Amino acid sequence: MLWGFGFNILGVYIVLFVLWIICLFRDLILVYGKTKEYDDILLFLGIGILIQVILTGILPYMNESMQTNCVAAWVFWFPDVYNPNTNAIQSWVNANYLLGFRVAATGMVILAILPMILDLYYTEEHVNLLAIIIIDCVFVAPFLWLAYVWMGGIGWPLTFLFAVLLFIVLLLLTRER
Q: Global pTM? A: 0.84
- Within a domain: 17: yes
Please provide residue 76's backbone torsions phi and psi, each rounded to the nearest 5 degrees.
-100, 150
Helix, strand or coil, per DSSP, at residue 76: strand
Which structural domain range is residue 45 located in?
1-87
- Within a domain: 52: yes
Mean pLDDT over 42-53 rounds to: 85
- Within a domain: 77: yes
Please, are residues 143 and 119 in contact by the beta-carbon 8 Å criterion?
no
Tell me, what's the pLDDT at 119? 78
Average pLDDT over the chain, rounded to an integer: 84
pLDDT exceeds cutoff 70 at 5? no
> For residues 104 and 122, what is the distance between their CA atoms, to the nearest angstrom?
27
DSSP label of 86: T
Q: How many domains does the chain have?
A: 1
DSSP label of 154: G
- Within a domain: 92: no
Q: How confident is the model at residue 41 (pLDDT cuts 50, 70, 90)?
A: confident
Q: DSSP of 2-63, one letter per residue?
A: GGGGT--HHHHHHHHHHHHHHHHHHHIIIIIHHH--HHHHHHHHHHHHHHHHHHHHHHHHH-
Burial of 75 (0-12, 13-18, 19+ CB in 10 A): exposed
Tell me, what's the pLDDT at 157? 87
- Within a domain: 150: no
For 70-122, what is each residue's pLDDT tens digit?
A: 888 888 888 888 887 788 888 888 889 999 999 999 999 998 888 788 777 77
DSSP label of 73: E
- Within a domain: 37: yes
- Within a domain: 40: yes
Tell me, what's the pLDDT at 107? 93
Percent of the chain with pLDDT over 90: 13
- Within a domain: 56: yes
